[in-house]
Structure 1
Amino acid sequence: MEWPFDDRPDLPPEAAAEGSVKFDPNDEWLKNASREQQIEAMRQWFYARFENPANCTPYDSGEGGYIFIHGGPHDPDDEIQCRFSSVVDYDIMEELIRDLWQECGDEWAPIDHDDWDYEDEVFSMLPGRRTDPKSMLDDRLDQIEGALTASTIATNFMNQLLHSAAITALEAYLWDTTAYWVTGDKSVLRLFVEGNKDFSGEKLNVTDVFKVMDGIEARVIEYLQRFVWHRLDKVKPLLESTMRIKFPSFDGFTTQINIRHDIVHRGGRDKEGYPVKVSADQVRVLTAMVRKFAEEMELELVRVYPDKGKESLYEGPEAPF
């Protein structure tokens, strides 16, 4: 199955600087990388530090918009050039900057808050119960469907936003589910590390074994944060090898994710420049597809983990982590 919408390349393990908690490119690698890889590395660096203010920044219409209580706003133009101007040519940085402007404008919020520790923040946001990912997905889909019903003026722009939100909800569900199991079941964590070439192919000195063991969970979470969750063709082998489940069919999602790509990355226009038309009924069909997909995945998880995840999938020696 082809995924023509996705022009974001994979990055090799050597792309990341050693010892970085949040993704930070290795400058020596970055200098010699292809244009596409340079853009992707800078994009991942930016996403690891800045977010859409709609996610967690207070909004006051009386004050004229968002109140950046944790610092900012941050302009991608300033941040990208400050970090990469000595490594990457300006025309390459400019291509990414324009893409980020189109995505969220020139006012982004910081992900790190002054009174939060980054690692503690990440782990505090992980689902606490196995039912949380599906519950959070249902809540989000209910909100999307409620917005369709409550809207007195149906516009193509609003439908585009809700369509994109449905795909984002699916991505969040896959991230939440995977993060829950790799942090909640040591056998799943071990399967993930052993079955993922980005980890299994890494050379390791004996003297570093315990250091790596102590930090392996945090490294896996950081890896999952950078994973492109809408690439279902890549999510499928990852989850099937990690959790030994049969990944639900994702027939029909390719077209929907392609539409979402045009909405988010092309300003709501297709490759030929024509506006992408999205109806309320199309959004409802998509939310129903996402619900069905998640329900089938939950049945698989119950089949493989009948006792709330306490029964180990790994039949070899006890996981050392």
Structure 2
Amino acid sequence: MGLAKQYWMELQEEQAYEEKCEWIREYLQDDDPDEYSKEWQEAEDAYEEYLNRLHIDFENQRYEEEYDYWSVVGKTNFQIFTEIIDSSKEIIKIQIDNIKIRKNLFVMLYGHIVAAIESYLSSTFIEQVMSPGNSEYIRKLVESDPEFANRKFTIKEIFSKQEELENDVKLYLRDLIFHKIDKVKPMYKNVLDIDFGNNIEWLFKAISLRHDCVHRAGYDKDGNEIDLDKEKVEDLIKRCSELVEHIESELTT
């Protein structure tokens, strides 16, 4: 470590220590408290809790600011998805004679439709799990998901971890990549008790193909043009619609 970086780190530590001492003096209402007293130690614990609360509030605010991509006033996730599907159905009816333009249209539509089902799955799951009064869903997620099962903490941390749990779940779900259908399928089953069924291979393939549509402009990693036509886009629309309708029916029963 260079001397400049070491000096900067020492300054940061000194500043943090001074901020803590100032907070404790105000907390104890004592301008010259004894750092070795029981009161000081209790105040240090209170300060740690204060910092923890600040962190949680900050992350909650960040979550609310970032998780808004399918938040539309007056519309449900199902309504948004349906609007996208209905528009796609109308677009695909447009008669285009130019083969290249028609292929580009299919590539764009395919990627758009897969993005719609991914966003629906993500938004619907998060909405269900994080809705007030759904603590049972959070418990099921924590108990069934390896991400939480592998976490370790001490007995001393039990209560603080319990307070942080909802925030941890928020952040985890926000950052989860929902096009990893191999992870999403069991999450829906284990937490919401919604089974996608055994015939879900089409969605794996669609998500893989979407990558070629979006990131390679309709070509695979070997430079070959992907094979898309009107029938394949229509089949994707049909399958996505059936899956979403199945989920909606399970949520309302």
Determine if the TM-score, normalized by the shorter chain, exceeds 0.5.
yes
Q: CA shift at 1:267, angstroms?
A: 3.6
Q: CA shift at 1:123, angstroms?
A: 5.8
Question: 2:92 maps to which residue?
Answer: 148
Question: 2:240 maps to which residue?
Answer: 290
Counterpart Cα distance in 1 of 2:95 and 2:122 = 30
Counterpart Cα distance in 2 of 1:221 and 1:141 = 28
Give 1:175's aligned amino acid: S
Q: CA shift at 1:168, angstroms?
A: 0.7
Question: 2:165 maps to which residue?
Answer: 216
Contact 1:141-1:287 within 8 A present in 2 as well: yes
Candidates 155, 160, 164, aligned match of 2:107: 160
Q: Secondary structure at the match of 1:252?
A: helix
**Alpha carbons of 1:123 and 1:232: their partners in 2 closer, same or farther (altered >3 Å)?**
closer
Counterpart Cα distance in 2 of 1:156 and 1:183 = 41
Q: CA shift at 1:180, angstroms?
A: 1.0
> Percent of aligned pairs with the same residue?
24
Q: Are residues 1:180 and 2:127 paired? A: yes
Q: CA shift at 1:218, angstroms?
A: 2.8
Contact 1:164-1:263 within 8 A present in 2 as well: yes
Between the two structures, name the one with larger relative contact order (CA 8 Å, sep ≥ 6).
Answer: 2
Superposed counterparts of 1:155-304, under 5 Å: 155-184=102-131, 185-248=134-197, 249-303=199-253
Q: CA shift at 1:274, angstroms?
A: 1.4
Counterpart Cα distance in 1 of 2:232 and 2:103 = 11
More helix by share: 2
Q: For each residue in 1:210-267, what CA deviation from the matched residue of structure 2 results, as whole angstroms up to 9, or x when unmatched? A: 3333332232222223323223222111221112222244142233223222223334
Q: TM-score, normalised by structure 1?
A: 0.51
Give 2:234's aligned amino acid: R
**Alpha carbons of 1:128 and 1:275: their partners in 2 closer, same or farther (altered >3 Å)?**
closer
Q: TM-score, normalised by structure 2?
A: 0.64
Counterpart Cα distance in 1 of 2:159 and 2:77 = 32
Q: CA shift at 1:122, angstroms?
A: 4.1
In structure 1, stretches of 5+ residues that fail to align are 1-116, 304-321
Larger radius of gyration between Structure 1 and Structure 2: 2
Q: CA shift at 1:192, angstroms?
A: 0.5
Counterpart Cα distance in 2 of 1:127 and 1:226 = 17
In structure 2, stretches of 5+ residues that fail to align are 1-60
Counterpart Cα distance in 2 of 1:215 and 1:142 = 41
Q: Secondary structure at the match of 1:210?
A: helix
Contact 1:239-1:245 within 8 A present in 2 as well: yes
Contact 1:245-1:300 within 8 A present in 2 as well: yes
Q: CA shift at 1:276, angstroms?
A: 1.5
Counterpart Cα distance in 2 of 1:217 and 1:151 = 50
Q: For each residue in 1:273-306, what CA deviation from the matched residue of structure 2 results, as whole angstroms up to 9, or x when unmatched? A: 2111322332222111100111112222233xxx
Question: 1:57 maps to which residue?
Answer: none
Larger deviation, residues 133-142 vs 117-126: 117-126
Aligned length: 186
Q: For each residue in 1:70-111, what CA deviation from the matched residue of structure 2 results, as whole angstroms up to 9, or x when unmatched? A: xxxxxxxxxxxxxxxxxxxxxxxxxxxxxxxxxxxxxxxxxx
Q: CA shift at 1:160, angstroms?
A: 0.5
Counterpart Cα distance in 1 of 2:70 and 2:154 = 31
The ranges of structure 1 where at least 4 consecutive aligned residues each deviate by more than 3 angstroms after the TM superposition are: 122-129, 149-154
Q: CA shift at 1:128, angstroms?
A: 9.2
Q: CA shift at 1:151, angstroms?
A: 7.0
